Structure 1
Amino acid sequence: MEQKFIELFKEVLEAEDQDVNLTDKFRDFDNWDSLTNLSLIAMIDDDFGVHIQHSDFKNLSTIADLIETIKAKNKS
């Protein structure tokens, strides 16, 4: 699941040539902006069936945080 998420994340970020690690802070990528923020939330909803509230999303910082949130919400 982690690898699938990272590949989709790189597509959203238009950074297929960059290395992305679980410990990376996703807002620190050069291509990060408000549109990427919305696109990432939409990708998580579409591809993983998980809706993350904007208020919850702003408390997440790393790729691992996103993945753990998806896993937790899928168990619910």
Structure 2
Amino acid sequence: MMKEFLEKIKEALEIEDRDIQMTDNFKEYDEWDSLNKLSLIVMIDEEYDVQVPDDKVNSCSSLQELYDEIQKLK
């Protein structure tokens, strides 16, 4: 499940040149900007049928925290 999550994150943020980890602070990615943030929120809504509020995304510092937040909202 986490491998699939990481692949969806890479797709949403248009990361093609490297692997990412659950411990990564995704807001430090070069690709992170307001447009990709919206893409990430939309992907979570479409793929997991969960609406993660903008402030929750902002409060997450790692992909693991974001994943955990999605699991809580399911």
How far is 1:17 from its partner?
2.6
Deviation >2 Å, runs of 4+: none
Q: Is the partner of 1:11 in helix, strand or coil?
A: helix
How far is 1:16 from its partner?
2.5
Q: What's the Cα RMSD here? A: 0.9
Deviations 1:44-69 (A, max 9, x none): 00000110111222111111011101
User: 1:62 aligns to what?
Assistant: 62
> Which 5+ residue runs of structure 2 have no aligned equivalent?
none
> Separation in 1 of the partners of 2:66 and 2:56?
10
Q: What is the percentage of aligned positions where both structures have the same residue?
A: 39
> Which 5+ residue runs of structure 1 have no aligned equivalent?
none
With the length of structure 1 as denominator, give the TM-score of the two structures: 0.91
> Separation in 2 of the partners of 1:55 and 1:12?
19
Deviations 1:9-36 (A, max 9, x none): 1011111331100100001111111000
With the length of structure 2 as denominator, give the TM-score of the two structures: 0.93
Query: Does structure 1 residue 9 correspond to structure 2 residue 9?
Result: yes
